[in-house]
Structure 1
């Protein structure tokens, strides 16, 4: 499949990411469900692939955790970074701390990519069950 704009290849939640000297990434304790009231820092890992068109000089990523009642309980940004064409890949990790998981339910992990002109290129949401 040929993409005309950058796209999110993968997004996941984990306890952390380490990278060795050769650029290999180790993902520590990936999860899709979380325990209410239990709070520890965790990481949002994203992998972006470049598109073949566009006039942006750079891109910025914003990640948010949204509670069932619509409150943003954590957010952060990565960037700026470049994705010149389809051969480019950008791996980002964002450490989030002190997240308010005080209510059970389905939270939302939202990842948004904007360009250097502040246009939204893509936005994706994933559920996170808190029990």
Structure 2
């Protein structure tokens, strides 16, 4: 089993929307990995962070998400936080509504998710491609 010395991204999912019911269950609408170009609309990025295997006390974190077009332009961004992940038993589920995402040009977009500590230093950065055709 892999050891995690810092909080880590367990999951990231790009979809059209997320709702949460009174019992804390998340309903995910229209998850996708490819999108047809031609117009802009809102999207939601759902992320799940897990705490480190060691006690990280009360340190707070902030998440920043960016979608970067093939030409390097940031076409959407958002932030969540602060939140705490005391140890490996803690989980943080975030959703960021990204409005008017400009997918009007085909190519490979980069979805970049970064976790910052209270000093605004990067704890981790993750990215995945999103192909727009």
TM score, norm. by length of structure 1:
0.95
Tell me the residue number matched to 1:27: 28
Q: How many residues align?
A: 131
Tell me the residue number matched to 2:6: 5
Secondary structure of 2:101's match? coil
Tell me the CA shift for residue 38 of structure 1. Answer: 2.5
With 62-71 and 48-57 compared, the bigger mean Cα shift is at 48-57
Q: Does 1:103 align with 2:109?
A: no
Tell me the CA shift for residue 57 of structure 1. Answer: 2.1
Tell me the CA shift for residue 101 of structure 1. Answer: 1.3
TM score, norm. by length of structure 2:
0.94
Match among 67, 80, 97 for residue 82 of structure 2: 80
Q: Does 1:38 align with 2:39?
A: yes
Q: Distance in 2 between matches of 1:74 and 1:40?
A: 11
The unaligned stretches of length 5 or more in structure 1 are none
The unaligned stretches of length 5 or more in structure 2 are none
Secondary structure of 1:41's match? strand
* C-alpha contact (below 8 Å) 1:17/1:43 kept by paired residues: yes
